[in-house]
Amino acid sequence: MRAAPTILHLDMDAFFASVEQASKPSLRGKAVIVGGLGPRGVVATASYEARAFGVHSAMPMAQARRLAPNAAYLVPRFQLYRTISEQVMGLLRELSPLVEPLSLDEAFVDLEVAGAAWDETSARLVGGGLRADIRRVTGLTGSVGLAASKMLAKIASEQAKPDGLVVIEPGTERALLAPMSVRTLPGVGPATGDHLRRAGITTVGEMAEAGEDELVRLLGKAHGHALYAMALARDERSVVAERETKSVSVEDTYDVDIHDRVRVGVEVQRLAERCVRRLRGAGLSGRTIVLKVRRYDFSTLTRSETLRGPTDDPAVVREAAARLLELVDTTGGVRLLGVGVSGLADYTQEDLFAQAAGEGDGGPGLGEGDRDGEGGGEGAGAGDVGGVVEGAVGERRWMPGRDVRHAVYGHGWVQGSGVGRVTVRFETPGSSPGRVRTFLVDDPELVEADPLPLVAGGCGGAGGAGAVGGVLA
């Protein structure tokens, strides 16, 4: 392992929610929750203000609404997140050719390879400069971890959150890891974590003490060996520059073959959920769902199903995986299960509208989120957003959070809609918090618009459309 903390890990703070707060001045400092707003929707992320209520990623939206009823609930604007992600990744590539993106908001950078940093002092300078550049170019904050390995750099950025920088000095890694939960280590998921806990091992220090033989006995040869090295802070994985992702998949090997068909079904559902989380984390969707099953005798088979269009809907992937499982004989036991999605696509505007429309069907009752009259005086500025217009055939749907333009009032965003009305808050990234006005949903003066760049003069408009001028108050 190298002697200097020259592996950098960057992760943007509350990424989707921070973009929404930067776009919408009235939401700054407020609880903001981004995700699917339909009946089966889940939270993509929550602003730090919303996390104080216990809301977090992957939580069912209905539960979030109970915990934080006054938060702003918004649908994601992937196109804009992707544009900002590209700006951030561009800044990382200015530091080094070795940049390994892990998702839209996260990447490893090897600072040593291009001579950007060689010791702690130079690494700190680069990390601090990067954070300043990210703020200047995107208006957002990201947290930076610096260490001598990928594992520790990622732990460091987690410790730095939000809006910070942490360096783990080489030589201090083991002492730092010792009291941490085994779940901190890459490769220790809930199942392995439970397994270790039943053996009385809950911290990394206890893992190291247990010794390699014991871990191999508990977890199998490959896994036990690898995790023992991680527990000793030995992580030699190098930063691998971006490759084109062909598929996203997750799999689990079971220490004891699973015979119970119900349990196999539950595991497949769990893997489908995890796979979708990873897919969404990378800002992707995909058309082909793949199920992989390795049986007790090591025979391995895959079954796949191709959908009409790309999806990143956990329910759709779960259902497809369940159908595929029906095609597989699992008597005799299962050693490994995997769920993958291939045929990857970037989100397109069309997908999002299709998704939004789908979420409206059978969604919140008519009138939810309706707000009569103007709500400009309300402190939180984030009251009853949510709700989808479900009026007459052909009526337009206005999803909370989407950009709109009004012929008279300019650029704004949909705050809520229902019973034939839509409320719009007129503000832009550079303006002060704006006023809310209510219109009929079919008001001809109101049209959908592209997002505006977060930073004046930036090139951040999504879809290459950029800013349409003349709306900055």
Chain residues in the site for ligand TTP (CB under 6 A): 11-16, 44-45, 57-58, 103, 105-106, 161-162, 277, 280-281
How far is Cα 6 from Cα 111, in angstroms, rounded to an integer?
5
Q: Residue 58: name its binding partner from Mg ion, ligand TTP, none (Cβ under 5 to 8 Å by kind).
A: ligand TTP
**Quick one: 32 or 414, whose CB is closer to Mg ion?**
32
Given the complex with Mg ion, which of 105 and 267 has the nearer CB atom?
105
Establish whether 133 is an annotated binding residue.
no
Compute the least distance from the CB of residue 392 to Mg ion, in Å.
41
Choice between 52 and 114, CB closer to ligand TTP? 52
Shortest separation between residue 178's beta carbon and Mg ion, angstroms: 26
User: Is the Cβ of residue 74 or residue 208 nearer to ligand TTP in the bound state?
Assistant: 74
Which CB sits closer to Mg ion, 105 or 359?
105
Distance, in Å, from the CA atom of 470 to the CA atom of 473, rounded to the nearest integer, reads 8
H or E segment to which residue 175 belongs = helix 173-177
* DSSP for residue 364: S
Q: In what order do the strands lie in the sheet with 72-74?
A: 43-46, 32-35, 72-74
Look up 106 and say whether it is catalytic.
Answer: yes
Which of 20, 100, 106, 427 is labelled catalytic?
106
When the beta carbons of 73 and 254 are compared against ligand TTP, the nearer one is 73
| Smallest separation, CB 106 to ligand TTP (Å) | 6
Strand arrangement of the beta sheet that strand 247-258 belongs to: 247-258, 334-346, 284-295, 300-311
The pair of structure tokens assigned to 401 is 């959070």
Looking up tokens 């309706």 gives: 370
Expressed in percent and rounded to 5, the helix, strand and coil fractions of the chain are 35, 25, 40
Sign of CA dihedral 49, 50, 55, 60: negative
Distance from C-alpha of 153 to C-alpha of 145, rounded to nearest angstrom: 5
Question: CB 9 → Mg ion: shortest distance, Å?
Answer: 10
Is 11 annotated to bind a ligand? Reply is yes
In the complex, minimum distance from the CB of residue 283 to Mg ion, in angstroms, rounded to a whole number? 11
Alpha carbons 405 and 329: distance in angstroms, whole number: 56
In whole angstroms, how close is the CB of 19 to ligand TTP at the nearest point?
A: 8
Q: Indicate which of Mg ion, ligand TTP, none lies near residue 30 (CB less than 5 to 8 Å, by partner kind).
A: none
User: What number of CA atoms fall less than 13 Å from residue 57's CA on the CB side?
Assistant: 14
- Hey, how many other C-beta atoms are within 10 angstroms of the C-beta on 464? 9
Cα gap 37→60, rounded to integer Å: 10
SS3 for 342? strand
Residue 298: which region, alpha, beta or left (left: phi > 0; alpha: psi -120 to 50)?
left
In angstroms, rounded to a whole number, what is the distance separating the alpha carbons of residues 194 and 433?
48
Closest residue to Mg ion, judged by C-beta, is 106
Minimum distance, C-beta of residue 371 to Mg ion, in the bound complex (Å): 31
Residue 98 CA to residue 77 CA, distance in Å, equals 29
Shortest reach from residue 81's CB to Mg ion, in Å? 11
Which residues are at the interface with Mg ion (CB under 5 A)?
A: 11-12, 15, 105-106
Nearer to ligand TTP, 81 or 228 (CB): 81
CA angle 440–446–452, rounded 5-degree value: 135
Q: Which residues touch 68 (CB under 8 Å, ≥6 apart)?
A: 31, 33, 46, 50, 53, 55
Helix (H) or strand (E) holding 418: strand 410-418
CB under 5 to 8 A by kind: which of ligand TTP, Mg ion, none does 44 bind? ligand TTP
* Distance in angstroms (rounded) separating the CA atoms of residues 52 and 31: 9
Q: 88 or 446: whose CB is closer to Mg ion?
A: 88
Contacts of 274 (CB under 8 A, 6+ apart): 250, 339
Q: What positions carry a catalytic annotation?
A: 106
Annotated binding site: 11, 105
Annotated binding site for Mg(2+): 11, 105
